[in-house]
Structure 1
Amino acid sequence: MHSLRPLFPLLITAGVLLAGNGLQGTLVTLRGSAEGFSATVIGLSGAGYYFGFIVGCWVTPWLLRTAGHIRAFAALAAIAACASLAMVIIIDPFFWFLMRLVTGICFASMFANVESWINAQVNNSNRARTLAIYRFVDLGAVTLSQYMLPVFGIGGFEIFAVMTMLIILSIVPVALADRSNPAPPAPFSFNPKRLFAVSPLACAGAVTVGLTTASFRSVGPLYAEGLGLNVSDIASFMSAGIIGGIVLQYPLGYLSDIISRRSVLLMATAGSTLTGLAMVWFAGSNLALNLAGIFLWGAFTMPLYSLSAAHANDKAEAGEYVQIASGLMFFWAIGASIGPLLSAILVDWFGAIAFFTYVCAMHGAFVLYTIVRIVRGAPDEPDRGRFAALLRTSPVFARMATQSANIEQSDQDASQNGDRAQDKPEKSG
């Protein structure tokens, strides 16, 4: 724990920032609905955030090289805070789209900033523990932030002020931390043709997860509201999906280290599809059934990105891991920039029930594609790396997790080789 103490300011910053970001996604959806915005308009603002996310991934390396980590983070947090607060001052659909675009750029850059800083501070001995703590910080911050909605309500200025305060407060730990200025992350570069050649299934998985999980974050509150749930119940609904996302992450990952990853991808996607269908058919407006359903849906859905990344890394060459991590993040962001708008249009046309119908269609299509790849594709690589659970905050985290998994695999291989060397009988002289 002593070795992790210098990281506490950065982890606190990440937690406060993740809380503000998680609160904003749900708040903008519910406030937009209360202001009379159509589901399509709300979905468009969600798509604007993820489009800004793509831009933010591109500009981060240049920004950090130009201004350094602390000044860049402070500037981006100030811009994100102003954009967040402006949305309650000027309530206009097009203006909200622009502000969500701006916050997408800022949050993507701030996450990459913090994660590259953390990556520069850790070593092989504490990397895995640091990533585990970071995942816990993400889960706890986003979950707790949902319950600020029923406390402060969505109709006034107060909740936007709280969200803005969270973003601004994230500057404090960074500003008071040590003055180190680590190297900026590598540019967000990739070769989509090569990535698709390495693993078409992983690319399809990343796009599918983007189409559905981003829709859950942006349009999921509309679905819950359409069922007649109140703000407190909607907060529980969103939190249940987020918490469910961690339950099967490691069991499915461990299973994929033992058997075919494509088979585990198929099982998880089928589980997500069937859970979604059950919510369409049986849940209705029953809160308990919706909470149980979204918990199971999150449990099956959220690991799909990590499983796709692990499958791609199994087939990548030694020098391609960073490019795979960045490329999959980019494909996910493309799906995430389309999904909220597409699902919102369907909700506008057909009502709340269309949301999980859309989700099931996307996952069902991926089930069929996975079956095709299993039937026609080459067998999984016999010499595979370790599964790494990934967050989709920035490409830097994906690189960190992949690096950690590869280090653990190398250590395990070295240990096994050492044991085999000891077992060999000595030659007589």
Structure 2
Amino acid sequence: MLASLASVFSLMVSTLLMMVGFGLQSYVIPVRSVAENWSTLTVSVIATGYTVGFTLSCVVTPKFVLRVGHVRVFTALITLLSIAILLCGLIVDWRAWIVFRAIAGFAISGSYLVIESWLNERVTNENRGLLFSLYLITTMVGTIGGQYMVPLGDPTNTSLFMLCSVLFSLALLPTALSSSPMPAPPAQAKFDIPALFRRSPVAVVGGFLAGALSGAWLNLGGVFTQKIGLSTAEGATLLASLLTGSALSQIPIGRLSDKIDRRIVMVGCGIVGVISCLVMSASIGSQPAVLYIIAAFVGSVLFPIYALNVAHANDLAKPNEYVETSSGLMITYGLGTISGPLMVGPVMDRFGPAALFLVLAVYFALYGGYAAWRILRREQHKGLVVKTDFQATSVMPTPGPDVTSPAAQQAAQEPLIDDDTVPAWENPRP
């Protein structure tokens, strides 16, 4: 086990530094935007640039990795991250920031791919749980740590932007200088969203709504904290509280969904999300400690729900469809992250910061409501459900499936199993 940890030590250090930079930039960007008196709609448009770049990278980055390899691509992407955040500090114009944030979104998404590809090369069935738990803890600690760096500087000048660039550059060193073997080239992952929808509409619709929820919060949560009068330290604590709630709830939610119909768990998450968001909206002006507790409840369902959709879709997929399923869901999620800020921004401009959680409550209601509707429409049970294991996700879901592991590549090449020999699925059209 110690040998396994040693083999990914440099990778974890790179991940930690990158996520510290990610947490810092994800908070300093909205804080600086508010300081520039840009409207929430303008901030939403800037955020859309980020999500468009993030989604585009899901498709494009694997092609670059095939051509030049993981390390060279990772080096280029981290360089782009450093350049993008420096340009945000040098050219403070919202139109330019759309482009800079698109570059950052493209780079961070591709960096996730490289890091997780490398990690998947090092794991085995015996240490997978430990190493991925360590990875999730690393991403969480790094993100929260980066958010708490904002109060240490002044977002109205270039100091925090420069610090963020330094962190990204430092993240390159451990991986670039590592002597560990390079990951195998990824398999080409295709996606067919219409076919995925026919197989599992609740996974596709839920994945889109999960993207809208996380996209709205990740890009406008910092604006919310500033608009309601929290200090940067208090705002960082509120953001950290939401992430902490997510970290604590992912495994219990996943284990529950492994035992019962995942769609029932989706309905429950939707109900918790609606109630907690409505309470948060009504609690603006309360003591910060009250807001932190409510934010933890919001976070307990905001990020884990995407993993529910992935697990449910894989339950209904054959082994040779896992890569295609995960790719299609990631694109669906990306489209949701694009729409989320664009929908929420104008509403916040019109009705104030409390409207953020009112819109999130609507998204949660749609999420849970659609899952409930699909439960009512399911066909009679024809046998036992064959479930895949639930796997928790990091702060931002990864830009693609594990397409680099030998198992994934073999599954992608396996012929379809004869329909007469496959187990009867619980819900042929859930």
**Does the TM-score normalized on the shorter chain lie above 0.5?**
yes
Is the CA contact 2:211–2:337 (under 8 Å) kept in the aligned structure 1? yes
Aligned to 2:124: 123
Q: Match of 2:287?
A: 286
Q: 1:181 to 1:400 in 2, by over 3 A?
A: closer
Residue of structure 2 equivalent to 1:270:
271
1:394 to 393, 398, 420: 398
SS at match of 1:184: coil
CA contact (8 A) 1:390 1:398 kept: no
The whole-number CA distance in structure 1 between the counterparts of 2:172 and 2:337 is: 27
Change (3 A) 1:214 1:379: farther
Find the counterpart in structure 1 of residue 62 from structure 2. 61
Give the C-alpha shift of residue 86 in structure 1: 0.7
CA distance in 1 between partners of 2:401 and 2:15 (Å): 12
CA distance in 2, matches of 1:60, 1:282: 43
**Is 2:120–2:404's contact at 8 Å kept on the other side of the alignment?**
yes
Report the counterpart of residue 419 of structure 1 in structure 2.
Answer: none
Tell me, yes or no, if the aligned pair for 1:108 and 1:393 is still in contact at 8 Å.
no
Q: Distance in 2 between matches of 1:163 and 1:297?
A: 28
**For the structure 1 residues 379 and 307, does the alpha-carbon distance in structure 2 shift closer, same or farther, using more than 3 Å as the test?**
farther
Work out which of the residue numbers 384, 388, 392 in structure 1 matches 2:387: 384
Aligned to 1:38: 39
For residues 83 and 372 of structure 1, the distance between their equivalents in structure 2, rounded to whole angstroms, comes to 43
Asked if 1 retains the 8 angstrom alpha-carbon contact of 2:330 and 2:400, the reply is no
Structure 1 residue 157: Cα displacement:
1.4
Cα distance in 2, alignment partners of residues 282 and 66 from structure 1:
52
CA distance in 2, matches of 1:25, 1:398: 26
Given that 2:277 and 2:357 are in contact with CA atoms closer than 8 Å, whether structure 1 keeps it comes out as yes
Change (3 A) 1:79 1:382: closer
Give 1:379 shift. 5.9
Displacement of 1:105: 0.9
Equivalent residue runs for 1:251-262 within 5 Å: 251-262=252-263
Following TM superposition, by how much is the alpha carbon of 1:58 offset from its aligned partner in structure 2, in angstroms? 1.3
1:375 shift after superposition = 0.8
Q: Distance in 2 between matches of 1:268 and 1:41?
A: 31
Counterparts of 1:224 and 1:398 in 2: how far apart (Å)?
36
CA drift of 1:181 comes to 2.9
In the alignment, which residue of structure 1 is the partner of 2:423?
A: none
Task: Give SS of 2:283's match.
Answer: helix
Q: Which residue number corresponds to residue 107 of structure 2?
A: 106
Contact 1:325 1:399 in 2 (8 A): no
2:6 match: 5
Aligned residues of 1:210 and 1:336 also touching (Cα < 8 A):
yes
Give the secondary-structure state (helix, strand or coil) at the position aligned to 1:170: helix
5 Å-filtered alignment, 1:102-251, equals: 102-178=103-179, 180-251=181-252
| Paired amino acid for 1:241 | L
Structure 2: state its 5+ residue gaps: 409-430
Contact 1:269 1:301 in 2 (8 A): no
SS in 2 for 1:182: coil
Q: For each residue in 1:394-418, what CA deviation from the matched residue of structure 2 results, as whole angstroms up to 9, or x when unmatched?
A: 24466689x79xxxxxxxxxxxxxx
Confirm whether residue 353 of structure 1 aligns to residue 357 of structure 2.
Answer: no
1:111 Cα deviation from its structure 2 partner: 1.3
CA distance in 1 between counterparts of 2:166 and 2:397 reads 21
How large is the RMSD of aligned CA atoms in angstroms?
Answer: 1.9
Q: Where is the helix percentage greater, Structure 1 or Structure 2?
A: 1
Question: Matches of 2:300 and 2:379 in 1, distance apart?
Answer: 28
The structure number with the bigger radius of gyration is 1
Tell me, what secondary structure is at the counterpart of 2:8? helix
Task: Compare 195-204 and 64-73 and name the one that shifted more.
Answer: 64-73
For 1:144 and 1:183, the matched residues in 2 are separated by: 32
Q: Distance in 2 between matches of 1:23 and 1:379?
A: 50
Q: Which runs of 5+ in 1 are unaligned?
A: 405-429
Contact 1:76 1:106 (8 Å CA) reproduced: yes
For 2:191, the aligned partner's letter is F
Q: Distance in 2 between matches of 1:38 and 1:230?
A: 19
**Structure 2-normalised TM-score?**
0.90
Secondary structure, in 3 states, of the residue corresponding to 1:248?
helix
Q: Which amino acid aligns with 1:144?
A: G
Counterpart for residue 308 of structure 2: 307
How far apart, in 2, do the equivalents of 1:303 and 1:15 lie?
Answer: 21
Q: Is the 8 A contact 2:117 2:402 kept in 1?
A: no
Q: CA deviation at 1:146?
A: 0.7
Post-superposition offset of 1:92: 0.6
| Greater displacement, 254-263 / 284-293 | 284-293
Deviates more, 1:115-124 or 1:375-384: 375-384
Mean CA deviation greater in 120-129 or 367-376: 120-129
Is the contact between residue 190 and residue 323 of structure 1 (CA under 8 Å) also seen in structure 2? yes
- Please give the alpha-carbon distance, in whole angstroms, between the structure 1 residues aligned to 2:403 and 2:18: 21
Identity %: 29
Mapping 1:319-398, distance limit 5 Å: 319-378=320-379, 382-391=385-394, 392-396=396-400
Q: Deviations over 1:129-175 (max 9, x none)?
A: 21111111111111111100111132221111110011101110012
> Which amino acid in the other structure matches residue 101 of structure 1?
A
CA distance in 2, matches of 1:282, 1:293: 9
Distance 1:326 1:117 in 2: 18
Query: What are the superposed Cα offsets for residues 38-57 of structure 1, whole Å, 9 maximum, x if unpaired?
Result: 11111111111111011111
- 1:412 corresponds in structure 2 to none
